[in-house]
């Protein structure tokens, strides 16, 4: 049972101290989600305090969302969910219970300590726990153009109330799809008809639509290393999923042909976590692969292409595809704010026809309010301005952090890699610590960090001793100290 000594409670009342201790254990995952807590009476007896004290502590924990009560059953620990915009950066949790453990239980190596890599819910908890977080890169909220968004929303509401109550077409309101098509043409050089665009409440929802569209019998290929979340979504839909090795130019073609994948889900313009940009020659090889079977398709996932900070822009796969093989997918939740749940996909003509036939009975998942507001936001040029501002901000932040690294006395012990990738880069370390130890030591020094190896499904192939530096959520004023803490946790004179 939970055991706490009250010796160090200082000026806290008994209940305040108990509440803080339990909260700490929940945040640190000593108490795990959905774990049952002892009854009030039992815990009071065990700790030799009054039931009222336990009750007051539990009440506060309920009010703050750390525990929940189930009538006639007891008290349970809440799932403390990951915050931040860039939640997909979470590495594989190798101790996570999975729905179909037969598939992967033998595969995951377990180089990480239990649940260590999962994030926590609230800003202040994050601060409690880490001085700086290079894993869960929450967007800096001051950067959201809130006043503009509010103004446009008001305009939309004042404008024409009747049209807000019309049921939008399944694929989204036509005006928004036109605005997106224009935007893609201007900023990505893509020629897309508004009729090819499907708007939905988040990319995760759209992935589910794509599975319904292409079929549950297909094998979906994902990048290794890569996002855990994309894999989990395919897994939740009970479709076959194959992890395909990458080489220095992106998806390895031999691995792709051997994988048995029908549908390839990739981010060729900006791969996470390696930062790779797939060159044009490999892009043609990928299209060639797709063209060899009518069942094959490529999902081109450009989640944060707006934030590639340098380098020659490479045409999207979608724009060089003449065989109707590429589904292009992108989101406004990354470029604006994660709470604006608007994403979109561009379907090739044949698939758009299939969508109209088979899936257009679905209602659009985004409210009219949000669709009209975003339309105005794009058409009035605010999106472009916002992205430019953010790009400048991230460039300055990146330069500052790189500078802090380069001027550090132990700079000779690391190598900076892929520094032109969007919102992250890699640091190759000269160290004898294994990756598990690296993460642990950094955490002890208040730095939340992940290693490249944590994003591999096939742990035997994992590149070791390489940090992934997701810097976009680090406040500029903390950068120098954060880098110094990181270095000091890994090196000594």
Sites for its own copies among residues 400-429 (CB under 8 A): none
> Which has the closest alpha carbon to 200: 325, 60, 331, 109?
331
Restricting to residues 278-297, which ones interact with its own copies according to CB under 8 A? none
How many other β-carbons are positioned within 10 Å of the β-carbon of residue 490? 24
Residue 70 · residue 76 · CB < 8 Å = yes
Interface stretch with its own copies, choices 20-28, 61-69, 108-116, 390-398 (CB under 8 A) = 61-69
Nearer to its own copies among residue 253 and residue 337 (C-beta)? 337
Instruction: Candidates 243, 265, 270, 341: give the one binding its own copies (CB under 8 A).
Output: 341
Instruction: Candidates 26, 83, 259, 424: give the one binding its own copies (CB under 8 A).
Output: 83
Restricting to residues 31-50, which ones interact with its own copies according to CB under 8 A? 33-34
User: What minimum distance in Å lies between the beta carbon of 282 and its own copies?
Assistant: 27
Residue 487 · residue 411 · CB < 8 Å = no
Interface stretch with its own copies, choices 232-240, 386-394, 422-430, 434-442 (CB under 8 A) = 232-240
Nearer to its own copies among residue 156 and residue 290 (C-beta)? 156
Question: Residue 421 is encoded by which pair of tokens?
Answer: 């990738």
Residue 102 is a binding residue for its own copies (CB under 8 A): no
Q: How far lies 34's CA from each of 69, 82, 94, 122, 484, in Å?
A: 10, 16, 18, 19, 37
Helices (H), 366-493: 368-379, 382-406, 435-444, 479-490
Restricting to residues 118-137, which ones interact with its own copies according to CB under 8 A? 121, 123
DSSP string across 140-202: -GGGS-HHHHHHHHHHHHHH-HHHHHSPPPTT--HHHHHHHHHHHHHHH-----GGGEEEESS
| Residue where the block lists tokens 């219970």 | 97
Nearer to its own copies among residue 244 and residue 352 (C-beta)? 352
Nearer to its own copies among residue 148 and residue 252 (C-beta)? 148
User: What minimum distance in Å lies between the beta carbon of 136 and its own copies?
Assistant: 10
Interface stretch with its own copies, choices 225-233, 261-269, 298-306, 414-422 (CB under 8 A) = 225-233
Restricting to residues 432-471, which ones interact with its own copies according to CB under 8 A? none
Residue 86 · residue 137 · CB < 8 Å = yes
Pairing of β 74-77 and β 67-70: antiparallel
Instruction: Candidates 2, 14, 42, 98: give the one binding its own copies (CB under 8 A).
Output: 98
Nearer to its own copies among residue 26 and residue 139 (C-beta)? 139
Pairing of β 67-70 and β 343-346: unpaired
User: What minimum distance in Å lies between the beta carbon of 478 and its own copies?
Assistant: 19
Instruction: Candidates 212, 323, 388, 403: give the one binding its own copies (CB under 8 A).
Output: 212
**Window 295-314: contact mask with its own copies (x via CB under 8 A):** --------------------
User: What minimum distance in Å lies between the beta carbon of 59 and its own copies?
Assistant: 14
Instruction: Candidates 164, 190, 255, 387: give the one binding its own copies (CB under 8 A).
Output: 164
Residue 119 · residue 30 · CB < 8 Å = no
Q: Which helix (H) or strand (E) holds 203?
A: helix 203-214
Q: What Rg do the C-alpha atoms of the chain give, in angstroms?
A: 24
Residue 152 · residue 146 · CB < 8 Å = no
Q: How many residues does the chain have?
A: 493
Instruction: Candidates 146, 185, 411, 478: give the one binding its own copies (CB under 8 A).
Output: 146
- Size of interface with its own copies, in residues (CB under 8 A): 82
Restricting to residues 344-403, which ones interact with its own copies according to CB under 8 A? 349, 353, 356-370
Instruction: Candidates 131, 144, 393, 491: give the one binding its own copies (CB under 8 A).
Output: 144
User: What minimum distance in Å lies between the beta carbon of 343 and its own copies?
Assistant: 10
Instruction: Candidates 120, 139, 180, 401: give the one binding its own copies (CB under 8 A).
Output: 139
> Which has the closest alpha carbon to 31: 6, 67, 81, 7?
67
Interface stretch with its own copies, choices 81-89, 249-257, 437-445, 474-482 (CB under 8 A) = 81-89
Nearer to its own copies among residue 101 and residue 415 (C-beta)? 101
CA distance 493 to 487: 11
Residue 251 · residue 446 · CB < 8 Å = no
Q: Which helix (H) or strand (E) holds 76?
A: strand 74-77
Q: Which residues contact 140 (CB under 8 A, 6 or more apart)?
A: 393, 472, 473, 475
* Cα–Cα–Cα angle for 359, 361, 367, rounded to 5 degrees: 105
């Amino acid at each position: 049972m939970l055991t706490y000594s009250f010796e160090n409670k200082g000026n806290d009342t008994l209940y305040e101290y108990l509440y803080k201790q339990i909260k700490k254990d929940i945040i640190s995952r000593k108490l795990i989600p959905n774990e049952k807590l002892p009854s009030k009476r039992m815990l009071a007896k065990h700790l030799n305090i009054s039931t009222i004290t336990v009750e007051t502590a539990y009440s506060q924990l309920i009010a703050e969302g750390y525990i929940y009560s189930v009538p006639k059953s007891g008290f349970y620990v809440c799932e403390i969910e990951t915050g931040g915009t860039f939640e997909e950066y979470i590495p594989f949790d190798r101790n996570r219970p999975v729905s179909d453990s037969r598939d992967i239980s033998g595969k995951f190596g377990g180089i990480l300590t239990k649940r260590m890599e999962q994030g926590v819910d609230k800003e202040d908890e994050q601060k409690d726990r880490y001085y700086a977080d290079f894993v869960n890169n929450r967007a800096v909220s001051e950067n959201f153009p809130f006043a503009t968004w509010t103004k446009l929303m008001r305009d939309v509401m004042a404008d024409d109330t009747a049209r807000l109550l019309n049921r939008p077409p399944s694929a989204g309101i036509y005006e928004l799809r036109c605005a997106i098509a224009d935007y893609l043409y201007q900023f990505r050089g893509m020629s897309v008809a508004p009729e090819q665009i499907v708007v939905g409440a988040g990319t995760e929802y759209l992935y589910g639509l794509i599975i319904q569209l292409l079929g549950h019998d297909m094998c979906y290929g994902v990048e290794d290393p890569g996002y855990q979340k994309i894999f989990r979504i395919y897994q939740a839909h009970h479709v076959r999923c194959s992890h395909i090795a990458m080489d220095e130019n992106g998806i390895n073609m031999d691995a792709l042909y051997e994988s048995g994948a029908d549908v390839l889900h990739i981010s060729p313009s900006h791969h996470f976590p390696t930062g790779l940009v797939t060159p044009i020659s490999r892009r043609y090889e990928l299209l060639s692969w797709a063209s060899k079977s009518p069942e094959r398709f490529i999902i081109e996932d450009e989640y944060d292409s707006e934030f590639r900070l340098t380098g020659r822009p490479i045409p999207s796969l979608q724009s060089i595809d003449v065989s109707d093989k590429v589904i292009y997918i992108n989101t406004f939740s990354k470029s604006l704010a994660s709470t604006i749940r608007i994403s979109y996909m561009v379907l090739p003509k044949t698939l758009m026809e299939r969508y109209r036939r088979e899936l257009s009975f679905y209602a659009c998942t985004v409210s009219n309010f949000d669709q009209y507001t975003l339309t105005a936001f794009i058409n009035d040029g605010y999106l472009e301005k916002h992205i430019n501002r953010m790009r400048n901000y991230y460039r300055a932040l990146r330069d500052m952090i790189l500078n802090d690294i380069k001027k550090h006395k132990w700079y000779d012990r690391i190598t900076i890699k892929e520094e032109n990738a969007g919102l992250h880069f890699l640091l190759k370390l000269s160290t004898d610590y294994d990756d598990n130890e690296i993460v642990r030591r950094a955490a002890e020094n208040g730095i939340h960090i992940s290693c490249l190896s944590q994003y591999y499904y096939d742990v035997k192939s994992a590149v070791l001793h390489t940090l992934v530096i997701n810097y976009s959520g680090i406040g500029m004023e903390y950068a120098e100290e954060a880098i110094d803490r990181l270095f000091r946790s890994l090196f000594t004179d």
